[in-house]
């Protein structure tokens, strides 16, 4: 289920379904959306602070529901990540989302919502940089800005060696919908009604500030749950600061090799997608092809 493309002059909604966003950065991001020709409506509770949450579960859920129900809102963008989306997943009105498909954009802790929305409603969503986490910062990269163009008209994305250096961990070619997101959140979904379905899909993973042994444990859980076997291929995004705090330790690259080098399916790493700059935004849930021969990921449009 593809959302409609955005148009210049549309109004987008901004919500904080996870942790409290940096308000200064969030406000500085307004200029970026002005330049895109978009108006912003902030959720009523977007600046609330409830411990490590951006408001109570009721408040964050209310903002989410109101943005999908509001016919004047054409797209919904998350202010930041952190923690908290898993707490509200079982209370979301998925029928409301199914009846009001819109552009939905975010990453990190928003992974839980990407998975829940797609598997409960079929909605294609976007993994991309957020207001407080990225857009409102001084180091927001021009390539990250250009990735928003895909929201205004259907575009096929081709990510190859001309974009960033890529490394083949296992050879092959496969097609399927891209699913996944933040690795720790994917593992957190196992055993729940929102457990990630990777069967016949291209699995995308990324994370930040996780030591190699932690990444090892996450991949071990995915492997033992059959998620690596079910996937048609694996896209390894950015793993920012994946270094050991004490030795001896395996390196991040050794961990990747242990889990992926002998898979009988394409696995490619080096994609600048995740907690990084530039951060290339991609749609989840559209048909895509991963090829080791061409070192290329091709993704069908995420809007209609």
Active site residues: 108, 206, 275
CB 296 within 8 A of CB 156: no
Give me the helices (H) in 158-288, please: 183-188, 212-224, 227-230, 252-260
Backbone dihedral angles phi then psi of residue 40, each to the nearest 5 degrees: -120, 135
β-bridge mates for residue 78, sequence order: 15
Query: Can you read off the two tokens belonging to residue 100?
Result: 């009001």
SS3 89: helix
SS3 222: helix
CB 228 within 8 A of CB 234: yes
């Amino acid at each position: 289920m593809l959302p409609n493309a955005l148009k210049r002059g549309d109004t987008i909604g901004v919500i904080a379904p996870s942790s409290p966003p940096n308000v200064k950065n969030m406000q500085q991001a307004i200029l970026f959306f002005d330049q895109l020709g978009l108006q912003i409506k902030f959720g009523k509770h977007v600046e609330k602070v409830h411990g490590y949450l951006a408001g109570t579960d009721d408040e964050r859920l209310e903002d989410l529901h109101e943005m999908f129900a509001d016919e004047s809102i054409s797209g919904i963008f998350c202010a930041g990540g952190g923690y908290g989306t898993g707490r509200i997943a079982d209370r979301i009105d998925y029928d409301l989302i199914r009846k009001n498909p819109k552009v939905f954009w975010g990453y990190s802790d928003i992974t839980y919502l990407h998975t829940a929305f797609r598997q409960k409603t079929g909605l294609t969503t976007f993994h991309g940089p957020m207001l407080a986490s990225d857009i409102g910062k001084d180091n927001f990269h021009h390539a990250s800005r250009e990735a928003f163009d895909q929201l205004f008209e259907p575009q096929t994305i081709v990510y190859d060696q001309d974009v960033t250096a890529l490394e083949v961990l296992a050879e092959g070619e496969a097609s399927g919908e891209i699913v996944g997101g933040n690795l720790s959140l994917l593992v957190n979904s196992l055993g729940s009604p929102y457990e990630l379905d990777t069967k016949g899909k291209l699995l995308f993973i990324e994370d930040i500030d996780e030591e190699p042994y932690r990444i090892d444990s996450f991949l071990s859980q995915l492997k033992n749950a059959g998620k690596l076997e079910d996937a048609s291929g694996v896209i390894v995004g950015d793993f920012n600061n994946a270094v050991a705090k004490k030795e001896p330790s395996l390196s991040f690259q050794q961990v990747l090799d242990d889990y992926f080098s002998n898979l009988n399916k394409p696995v490619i790493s080096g994609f600048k997608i995740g907690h990084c700059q530039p951060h290339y935004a991609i749609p989840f849930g559209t048909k895509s092809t991963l090829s080791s021969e061409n070192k290329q990921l091709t993704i069908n449009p995420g809007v209609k």
